[in-house]
Amino acid sequence: MSDSSNSPAAPVPDPARVPYLVVNPKSANGQTGRRWAELEAIARASFGEVQVGHTTGPLHAIELSRSALQRGHRLILAVGGDGTLNEVVNGFFREDGSPVAPDAAVGILPQGTGGDFRRTAGVPGNWSEAVRHVHEAPVRRIDLGRVRFRAHDGSEAVRYFINVASFGISGNVDEAVNRASKRFGGKLSFKLGSVRALVGWTDCRVRIHADDQPPEDLSVSVVALGNGQFFGAGMRVAPEAKLDDGTFHATIWQGFGFRTFAFKQAGIYSGEHAKWKNTRCFPVRRLSAESDERVLLDIDGEQPGTLPATFELLRGAVGLKA
């Protein structure tokens, strides 16, 4: 009889070859956590060996992502919605702004409410199809945004974004949606949140400075900077945006209120709004904004703070497997 104690140890997998899944178990209104054994089995059928970390609260995905990169993982997959993906991307950078692993890539296996980034990236909404798609997809370099802003405690904060950052009524919608249950699904949850935020809304006064253009004092409903095309669970806010073209696609909405949303929402979801007289679209790489009012931010569907803020484009800052 052989002595098993003398058997060679099983080789330890190279973390660079093992995808790390950052799982938000509360995403999809808790369905991700309840179905995780089934979802993980599907992921392993395509990717083989994977390692998994489950978030336990806000911003935990940043810590999980950064730690996995430091251990040598080079593909980090966000399992959740746009907010989970945003946190994972923020984990790709150290506190001083330097990349943790410049050769690493991010991907999304969508299990969230809005599903906005995956639309631009071309990732299917169905879990099995998304797993196959991401597994087979090449890695390409894409742009990111960086925002310096005022956090709710009054301190200066920095956040990276992969999809869309905006301010105005969109920040109020985020606040309303994230405080409420999302059991109705993404699009309806955002519609209900929009109605709550739009009741009594009046445009806010802001001062913006875009690239080398003269500063402007404007009354706005929303100012959005699109790296991706969609926000608010399918609103095509920046229909010309591309993830790798080296510029944000800015959209300014003025005079958008409850009536616009109620009677012209089809044009907002299709991108037709870009032709309306109270919509203005232009490319920009850097934009700063301030206001004497309390103006809320929306960063990839999350609401982390207020103006003043400065938005900067980071060309080719991360690899995307999608």
**Domain shared by 159 and 280, yes or no:** yes
Please indicate, yes or no, if residue 10 is contained in any of the structural domains: no
Alpha carbon distance 219, 223 (integer Å): 10
- Local structure of 23: helix, strand or coil: strand
**Domain shared by 124 and 199, yes or no:** no
**Domain shared by 80 and 175, yes or no:** no
Alpha carbon distance 271, 253 (integer Å): 13
| C-alpha dist (Å) from residue 295 to 13, 164, 175, 230, 316 | 48, 17, 12, 21, 30
Please indicate, yes or no, if residue 151 is contained in any of the structural domains: yes
Predicted confidence at residue 309, as pLDDT, reads 98
Please indicate, yes or no, if residue 1 is contained in any of the structural domains: no
* 32 pLDDT higher than 60: yes
**Domain shared by 107 and 227, yes or no:** no
CATH assignment of the domain containing 39: 3.40.50.10330
Predicted confidence at residue 297, as pLDDT, reads 98
**Domain shared by 25 and 85, yes or no:** yes
**Domain shared by 30 and 104, yes or no:** yes
**Domain shared by 157 and 294, yes or no:** yes
Predicted confidence at residue 190, as pLDDT, reads 64
Please indicate, yes or no, if residue 8 is contained in any of the structural domains: no
State how many domains the chain has. 2
Mind giving me the DSSP string for 146-181? EEEEEETTS-EEEEEESSEEEEEHHHHHHHHHHHS-
Helical segments of 73-232, H only = 82-90, 116-121, 127-136, 169-179, 186-198
- Residues contacting 75, CB < 8 A, separation 6+: 19, 20, 104, 105, 106, 107, 321
Phi, psi (rounded to 5 degrees) for 108 = -130, 135
Give the residue from 105, 120, 137 where a domain finishes. 137
* Beta bridge partners of residue 141, listed in sequence order: 319
- Local structure of 310: helix, strand or coil: strand
CATH assignment of the domain containing 313: 2.60.200.40
pLDDT in tens, 250-263: 999 999 988 888 78
Per the CB < 8 A criterion, the answer to whether 103 and 82 are in contact is no
Instruction: For residue 181, name the pLDDT band (cuts at 50, 70, 90).
Output: low
Please indicate, yes or no, if residue 6 is contained in any of the structural domains: no
Predicted confidence at residue 253, as pLDDT, reads 97
pLDDT in tens, 91-101: 999 999 999 99
Please indicate, yes or no, if residue 7 is contained in any of the structural domains: no
Q: Vertex 289, ends 217 and 320: CA angle to 5°?
A: 135
Average pLDDT, the chain: 92
Give the residue from 111, 137, 163 where a domain finishes. 137
Predicted confidence at residue 182, as pLDDT, reads 56
**Domain shared by 67 and 176, yes or no:** no
The domain of 284 spans 145-317
Joined tokens for residue 138: 């090449």
Alpha carbon distance 194, 177 (integer Å): 8
Please indicate, yes or no, if residue 2 is contained in any of the structural domains: no
Predicted confidence at residue 21, as pLDDT, reads 98
Give the residue from 137, 160, 191 where a domain finishes. 137
